[in-house]
Amino acid sequence: MTGNKTALKLLGLAALLAFPVLPFSSEYVMHVAVLIMVYAVLAMGLNVLPGFCNLLDLGYVGFYGIGAYTAGILALNHNVSFWLIVPGAIALGALCGMLRGAPTLRLSGDYFAIVTFGFTELVVLFLTNEIWLTRGPLGLPGIPPIALSLEFLGIDWRYDFLSEIPYYYLGLAMVGAVYVVMCRIEDSRLGRAWLAIKEDPLAAASCGINLMAYKTVAFAFSAGVGALAGCFMAQWSMFLAPDVFKFWESFLVLCMIVLGGLGNINGAIVGAVVLIALGEVLRVLLPKLGLPAETRFLVYGLIMILIMRFKPGGFFPTIAATSKKSRLILDLKARLQAERAG
Amino acid sequence: MDTILKIDGVSKRFGGLMALADVSFEVKKGRILGLIGPNGAGKTTMFNCIAGIYKPTEGRIVFDKETGPVDVGGSRPEQMTQMGVARTFQNIRLFGSLPVLDNVRIGRHCRAAQGFWGAVLRTKGQKAEERMLVEQSMEYLDFVGLKNKALDLSSSLSYGDQRRLEIARALASQPKLLLLDEPAAGMNPQETASLVDLIHAIMRKDITVVLIEHDMKLVMSICEHLVVLDHGVKIAEGGPRDIRENPEVIEAYLGRGAAHA
Ligand SMILES: Nc1ncnc2c1ncn2[C@@H]1O[C@H](COP(=O)(O)OP(=O)(O)OP(=O)(O)O)[C@@H](O)[C@H]1O
Ligand SMILES: [Mg+2]
């Protein structure tokens, strides 16, 4: 039973690693695969607020935009190394996340939703109007691709990302790292505090949880992950424009986690896979039906409504799922079973 | 005898309603105090003021910390828990989608320290703390008799067990003062009997208890000292015998004229 599961997991991992060399993996398929990974990171990052803390975030891609433009500007105009861009973008994203959440700390969750909605508009307005920095509606073309180098260590090694394949592997590593971090946090004192806030803030406070402090950590962490996805995307797509970060994009990411199951990390990834794949299908299908490609948001909206009506917990409704499979809990389960039997 | 909590002229106003009007009493260390009164008397409001959920409109709430007595009126709930005041809720407020064990682990939150980096890096200290949290939480569950249900979903427990779990969650914060808001509500006679045993066991752990309860037989049997509220006013205070015979109390419970009937 457990042996089978491990074998299945290894097989899945092997398939993921071998994916780029499979016969059907054209440049287009690889592109979609990388896009899925970017959105998987976004979905996992967004999940922290509505999924773990029950705070509805309607403006998550604002941080995606902040991360992307930070990376774009630093790489294009200042030739900054990728090793510095990533932590810089994450730190700036996290800071913006804290600033965005701060005014709502003493208010109920509804106010937070309103503030987040305003925030994405603000980010788009900033990107559109601060032409000196962002070139406004013209966008930022010609961002250099990612280049990994060890020159700062005095080692003469440099690798330029010239096709989809290195992005695929880097993206896989990014998804894996974010996934592990999310699982570790979910199954920790911090994650349990968030889930307590999600379930009942008043009872959580009565258990000694400082709501303001823990929400602030959630704001920063969630935003930092969004910015990470952004800085990967900027150097992958090599072009940025303010339009990419509009409200509808946030809505799409929200659909992903509602579909997968709010608060479930695996669900967030599945949601990203399903909706990005569906988006590609719709992009081909809708024009054939004589509809503009934007109609796909109607489809996402419909999916959202259907899920809420028929499967309100999403396809993976379990919360705190990581803890259930942790060593400590499995050991405890065995011990309790032994005691009951003996 | 030492005073652990002193309520000094506390009032709480909700708009035009005086939920508490100039109430004063003292809670003695190591004893159990019963807080009684008819529906809407202000008992839960008093707990909410003590536990930091409401800020009293007037008056002082003095809690005896290790460092000496301090006015804690207006502290936040998590600060009160940290200082050693824990409570249960009249209308059970468990973390329903989480397992029983997690409810207690969360209750122990303020006695643990690991944060973001510990969780991400899975440091030695973090792992040790997680192990300890499970062990300690299991001890509290054992104490209230829920050890075997540790991994069940807390919302799947029976009503009586949910009340016990709330007590375990409150105990997990290692309180010096425990506020129980109608712990026997909805329990059958057997469950109530074992609750009495549980409360006695809690007292043996050197925890002072304040008990709100409508079941007069229960209150009179375990409380040495009672405070009676009615319409936000303290109308009587004393031992069970005095309270039972106090005409004002009888009137408050049974309506005007009953005392003479
Ligand atoms: N947050 C609030 N806002 C407005 N009024 C409130 C609030 N909380 C309590 N009250 C009012 O204060 C009065 C006292 O309520 P409280 O819950 O303290 O009574 P109680 O003694 O616990 O009653 P019960 O035995 O029914 O639990 C009631 O009239 C109630 O309606
Ligand atoms: Mg009450």
pLDDT digits (tens, 9 = 90+) for B134-168: 999 999 999 999 999 999 999 999 999 999 999 99
Cβ B41 under 6 angstroms from ligand 1? yes
Whole-number Å distance, alpha carbon B79 to ligand 2 midpoint, is 22
Does B112 lie in the same domain as B188?
no
A202 → closest Cβ in B93, B116, B131:
B93
Do B156 and B193 sit in the same domain of this protein?
Answer: no
Tens of pLDDT along B167-226?
999 999 999 999 999 999 989 999 999 999 999 999 999 999 999 999 888 999 999 999
Residue B160 within any structural domain of the chain: yes
| B213 plus B249 within the same structural domain | yes
Tell the residue nearest (CA) to atom 2 of ligand 1.
B14
Q: What is the pLDDT of residues A43-83, one digit of tens each?
A: 999 999 999 999 999 999 999 999 999 999 999 988 888 99
Cα(B194) to ligand 2 centroid in Å equals 22
Can you give the residue range of the structural domain that contains B130? 96-172
Same domain, B183 and B201: yes
| Residue at B89 is within a domain | no
Residue B55 lies in a domain: yes
Q: How far is A176 from chain B (nearest CA, A)?
A: 13
ipTM, two decimals, is: 0.94
Q: In terms of domains, do B150 and B182 share one?
A: no
Report yes or no on B214 lying in a domain.
yes
Give a yes or no: residue B226 inside a domain: yes
Distances (CA, A) of B51 to A60, A102, A123: 36, 25, 41
pLDDT value for B204 = 95
CATH code of residue B47 = 3.40.50.300
* B163 C-beta closer than 6 A to ligand 1: no
Q: Are residues B145 and B184 in the same domain?
A: no
Nearest residue on chain A to B179, alpha-carbon basis: A206
Residue B117 lies inside a defined structural domain of this protein: yes
A223 shares contact with chain B (CB less than 8 Å): no
CA–CA gap between residue B32 and residue B255 (Å, rounded) = 28
Which residues line ion ligand 2, judged by CB < 5 Å?
A: B 44, 90
Statement to judge: residues B179 and B78 lie in one domain:
yes
Pair B104, B46 in one domain:
no
Is A220 an 8 Å CB contact of chain B? no
Q: What confidence tens digit (pLDDT) does each residue in A2-17 have?
A: 678 888 988 988 888 8
B23 within a domain of the structure (yes/no) = yes
Query: Is B248 found in the same domain as B195?
Result: yes
Asked if B201 and B260 sit in the same domain, the reply is yes
pLDDT of B1 above 70: no
B252 close to ligand 1 (CB < 6 Angstrom): no
Q: Is residue B186 part of a domain?
A: yes
Out of A210, A217, A319, closest to residue B78 by CB:
A210
| Nearest CB to B109 within list A189, A200, A333 | A189
Do B151 and B200 lie in a common domain?
Answer: no
* The domain boundary residue, chosen from B111, B143, B172: B172
Q: Are B148 and B191 contained in the same domain?
A: no
- Among B172, B198, B218, the domain boundary falls at B172
pLDDT of residue B261: 45
Domains and CATH numbers, chain A: 27-341 (1.10.3470)
Half-sphere exposure of B130 (CA within 13 A, CB side): 24
d(C-alpha B219, C-alpha B237), whole Å: 14
Q: In angstroms, what separates the C-alpha of B187 from chain A's closest C-alpha?
A: 22
Alpha carbon of B44 to ligand 1 centroid (Å): 7
To probe the interface with A, which of B98, B136, B165 has the most A CB atoms within 10 Å? B98
Domain boundary, last residue among B142, B172, B202: B172
Question: Which segments in chain A show pLDDT lower than 70?
Answer: 1-2
When divided into structural domains, chain B yields a total of: 2
